Amino acid sequence: MIAGTRPLDFNPKIELKRWDFKIEDEVRSWWEKEDWWRFNVDSPKPKFVIDTPPPYPAPLWHIGAAVSYSLHDMIARAMRMLGYEVLYPIGFDRNGLPIELYVEKYLGLTPWKTDREKFLEACRKALDEFVENMKKVLKRLLIAADIDHPYLTDSPEYRAFTQATFIEAWKKGLVYEAERPNNWCPKCRTTIADAEVEYKERPGILAYIKFKVKETGEDLIIATTRPELLCACQAVIVHPEDERYKHLHGKHAIIPLYNREVPIIPHKLADPNFGTGAMMVCSFGDWRDVQLFRELRLKPIKAIDENGRMTECAGPIAGLKVKEAKKKIIEILKEQGLVVKVENIVHKVPVHERCETEIEIIPMKEYYLKQLEFKDVLRKYANEMKWQPERYKVNLLQWIDSVSMDWPISRRRFYATEIPVWTCKKCGYKYVPPPGKYYRPWKENPPIDKCPKCGANEWEGETRVFDTWMDSSVTVLYITRYMRDQRFWEETFLKGTKLRPQGYDIIRTWLYYSLLRVHQLTEKRAFDWVFINGMGLDEKGRKMSKRYGNVIKPEEILDKYGADATRFWIALEVKPGENYRVIENKIRGAHKFLTKLLNVARYISAFPIVEEADLSDSDKWILAELNETIEKVRKAYEEMDFHQAAEEIYHFVWDKLASHYIELSKKRARLMDERFNEEEAKGAWYALHQSLKNVLLMLAPIAPAITDYIWRQLYSKESIHAQELPKPKEEWKFEKELEMGRKIMELNSAVWKVKKEVLKRKLREPITLQELKENGVELPDLGGFQKDFYALHNIQ
């Protein structure tokens, strides 16, 4: 026996008995001094690009965001350990309406009544404050990226890049200006794209109104949810097969109050089962009206203005807001006996997703980016990309199929990238400057002496800005330095594997627009992989919302349990693409697992590290279990399924290594029984250290601090995150021992049950074979497991 290896002399190298998450700050400080996480374009490794979602800075960030960015960091860490050189940038998406709405609400600055520069500065200042708070959260989540130097979509560099991509699209003839019906948000006073529209159930009315048929004098009752649009009615349609109205085909209806004649037209879009089956066609109650106006070549009447008020053509309700106008016109119609009845209903109405204001459809002159001609290639890309999970591909395909008009890209707001266009005041020529500089046409002169068309030198700078998705849709090109560093772009974008991780709620916006814009600019597919994460819900399964008062801030969880426990809970709880509930008890359970892991590591740290040894059947069994776990975990990481990886690691550590193998090999490893010698102990030492070492490597992408802490205490001064993920070993495929080991686990449980529940003995007390047999436990031939099994259970 080796001197100094008596049972009481096995002192653990790890002194910590309970995981203290305050150590995470110390571990992160190690990483900031090292370079294993920094991207090196000159590395010979294959490149992996993560187009990390740049979060929108907000005063309140809930736990769902922490989940998303932790998952993305797990991807980056796993891919590094799988042998990739990983480009994993952090950015903040700072353009668009949210900050304007915040400044309006909390600082009292209205963009249309405030000096533009002053308003923009207020937005910038608020954003800077939000970003600093979010950086702290990202650091606390142990995100291994350059958080101190993020890209900002409102920086002059980024805005110049967005403008450069627009200029390129302009040169290709993909941009045009036109006046046509658009979704209009009266509150935000801007055009919005279809992708920014949501449908919400809201209370409304269904008014049955009397029209007169000119030719017959009979009443024609029409049910409508938009009586305020009577003034904009240009036709009435009925279904061609509706027997009630066949005699009216080709005749004319007289609009009540306004006394205009409009044609009665048979058309299949009329629903015989809605209302009375007769429908008025107005400009523009909904997109069905838009379609009918185009098809029937009707002349639109602008009934609602940009402020959401009725125009002069509305007569007695002119100047009123839409809801007020709806009530007022019903009163007027009732006074004149023109209302049959009014029903209260609940129906789906289109709202602006940002402010939830009900939108109107108003003809506006806007810039459009062509998209209809690209639908086929986008479908092709959707089918070529790998999806995790696969079922979300249909969301993109359905959205592509639903696109029916070009994308209106201009917005009448302020805090966004300006459209780099000047218009000649004399001849109307549109001047678009060369790329490379950040242009602000609303306050700058164009970089040209005179109009190339007419020679004049008076210009009107564009005051409109881009839809924020014009900026966000080119993030993958920005981070791969498109148009700015050809070699970097070739190594990353052209040769690398490109991943888009994001929520399912923005498939129709961020993912769709990115595929569209990248194809238009490069004729390449933007991504190879799409990783979709779900939405965080409260314990009752409700969406987190300030309205419900159920928003959980990441700091609340991090203050209690730290990042590693939070991240391990995320991996265990969050299946790819699935919504998940935030239940604190489960996070507490994740923290208990980390303490269990630490205790296992502390126990194993007491034994010498040996490179080879003669193995008992027990040792072979745990190494075979470990081998299977390595294979499953590696596959899970390759498929970005962290739920599967975490479950496999959990079950190996808790259910096999700690509960059975450590107990089975303890007396041998610690030389606590005369039946064992030093050579046999070495087999246990080898198996224990191999198990711990490989568990740490497998768990590192998920719980990066505790694994690196233990790793450096025992195995290397170089970070665990600079290592490779383990691979299965052919020499550890002990099939016979694996099968027997699983039976041994069942026998262990059976013996413990007899001792504890039947014989009321402590587990360390002796038991005879006869006693076991009398209580239903008959031992088979245990082969090479027998010595460990008898020693564990103190079988006499």
CA neighbor of 733 nearest in space, from 635, 616, 625: 625
- C-alpha distances out from residue 601 to 7, 12, 607, 619, 696, Å: 18, 9, 10, 17, 10
CA neighbor of 40 nearest in space, from 83, 87, 76: 87
What would the mean pLDDT of 422-429 be, rounded to a whole number?
A: 96
- C-alpha distances out from residue 1 to 11, 216, 278, 496, 515, Å: 17, 116, 99, 56, 68
Length of the chain equals 796
Helix segments in 183-321, DSSP class H: 287-296
- C-alpha distances out from residue 417 to 149, 437, 463, Å: 21, 12, 10
In whole angstroms, give the CA distance from residue 96 to residue 412.
11
Q: List, in sequence order, every residue forming a beta bridge with 310; answer none if it has no partner.
A: 304
Encoded tokens for 4:
């100094």
Looking at residue 1, its pLDDT comes to: 40
> Does residue 354 sit in the same domain as residue 448?
no
What would the mean pLDDT of 648-677 be, rounded to a whole number?
A: 95
What is the tens place of the pLDDT at every residue in 533-542?
998 888 888 8
- C-alpha distances out from residue 524 to 409, 475, 477, 492, 517, Å: 22, 15, 11, 13, 10
What would the mean pLDDT of 209-231 be, rounded to a whole number?
A: 95
Helix, strand, coil abundance in the chain, percent, nearest 5? 45, 15, 40
SS3 (DSSP) at 36: coil
Above 50 in pLDDT, residue 600?
yes
Above 70 in pLDDT, residue 4?
no
Above 50 in pLDDT, residue 5?
no
> Does residue 475 sit in the same domain as residue 459?
no
The answer to whether residue 456 is domain-embedded is yes
Q: Which of 533, 550, 565 is the last residue of a domain?
A: 533
Looking at residue 3, its pLDDT comes to: 38
β-pairing, 190-192 vs 175-185, is: antiparallel
> Does residue 205 sit in the same domain as residue 312?
yes
State the CB neighbour count (10 A cutoff) for residue 539. Answer: 13
Give the confidence band of 311 by pLDDT, cuts at 50, 70, 90. Answer: very high
In whole angstroms, give the CA distance from residue 779 to residue 748.
11
In whole angstroms, give the CA distance from residue 311 to residue 442.
29
Q: Which of 360, 376, 393 is the last residue of a domain?
A: 360
Residue 489 contacts by C-beta under 8 Å, 6 or more apart in sequence? 480, 481, 482, 483
Looking at residue 278, its pLDDT comes to: 96
> Does residue 592 sit in the same domain as residue 713?
yes
> Does residue 97 sit in the same domain as residue 143?
yes
Looking at residue 104, its pLDDT comes to: 85
What is the tens place of the pLDDT at every residue in 508-521?
999 999 999 999 99
> Does residue 622 sit in the same domain as residue 742?
yes
> Does residue 524 sit in the same domain as residue 608?
no
Encoded tokens for 488:
């970097």
Looking at residue 451, its pLDDT comes to: 96
CATH number, position 287: 3.90.740.10
In whole angstroms, give the CA distance from residue 669 to residue 7.
9
What would the mean pLDDT of 466-487 be, rounded to a whole number?
A: 97
> Does residue 86 sit in the same domain as residue 105?
yes
Looking at residue 77, its pLDDT comes to: 98
Q: What are the two backbone dihedrals, phi and then psi, of residue 364, each rounded to the nearest 5 degrees?
A: -140, 150
> Does residue 660 sit in the same domain as residue 774?
yes
The answer to whether residue 344 is domain-embedded is yes
Encoded tokens for 381:
């890309």
State the CB neighbour count (10 A cutoff) for residue 89. Answer: 19
Angle at 342 (CA atoms; ends 340, 343), nearest 5 degrees:
135
Looking at residue 437, its pLDDT comes to: 96
Match 């005699």 to its residue by tokens. 247
The answer to whether residue 427 is domain-embedded is yes
Above 60 in pLDDT, residue 2?
no
In whole angstroms, give the CA distance from residue 52 to residue 502.
8
In whole angstroms, give the CA distance from residue 577 to residue 388.
7
- C-alpha distances out from residue 594 to 106, 332, 566, 570, 623, Å: 43, 71, 11, 14, 22
What would the mean pLDDT of 594-603 be, rounded to a whole number?
A: 97
The answer to whether residue 254 is domain-embedded is yes
Q: List, in sequence order, every residue forming a beta bridge with 262; answer none if it has no partner.
A: 253
Using an 8 Å Cβ cutoff, are 137 and 552 in contact?
A: no
CATH number, position 692: 1.10.730.10
| DSSP letter, residue 309 | B
> Does residue 437 sit in the same domain as residue 479?
no
The answer to whether residue 30 is domain-embedded is no
State the DSSP H helix or E strand holding residue 43, giving kind and residue range, or none if neither.
Answer: none
CA neighbor of 637 nearest in space, from 370, 440, 420, 388: 388
Looking at residue 110, its pLDDT comes to: 84
Q: Is the dihedral of CA 196, 197, 198, 200 positive or negative?
A: positive
What would the mean pLDDT of 273-283 be, rounded to a whole number?
A: 94
The answer to whether residue 513 is domain-embedded is yes
Looking at residue 7, its pLDDT comes to: 45
> Does residue 214 sit in the same domain as residue 336?
yes
In whole angstroms, give the CA distance from residue 96 to residue 555.
26
In whole angstroms, give the CA distance from residue 717 to residue 715.
7
The answer to whether residue 709 is domain-embedded is yes
Q: What are the two backbone dihedrals, phi and then psi, of residue 321, each rounded to the nearest 5 degrees?
A: -70, 160
In whole angstroms, give the CA distance from residue 28 to residue 37.
12
In whole angstroms, give the CA distance from residue 151 to residue 147.
9
What is the tens place of the pLDDT at every residue in 441-452?
999 999 999 999
> Does residue 206 sit in the same domain as residue 139?
no
CATH number, position 453: 2.20.28
Looking at residue 6, its pLDDT comes to: 47
Encoded tokens for 621:
């069994």
Domain encompassing residue 337: 190-360
The answer to whether residue 574 is domain-embedded is no
Of 84-88, 91-95, 125-129, 306-310, minimum mean pLDDT range: 306-310
CA neighbor of 726 nearest in space, from 702, 691, 776: 691
Q: Which of 360, 378, 411 is the last residue of a domain?
A: 360
Total domain count for the chain?
Answer: 4
What is the tens place of the pLDDT at every residue in 254-266?
999 999 999 999 9
State the CB neighbour count (10 A cutoff) for residue 458. Answer: 11
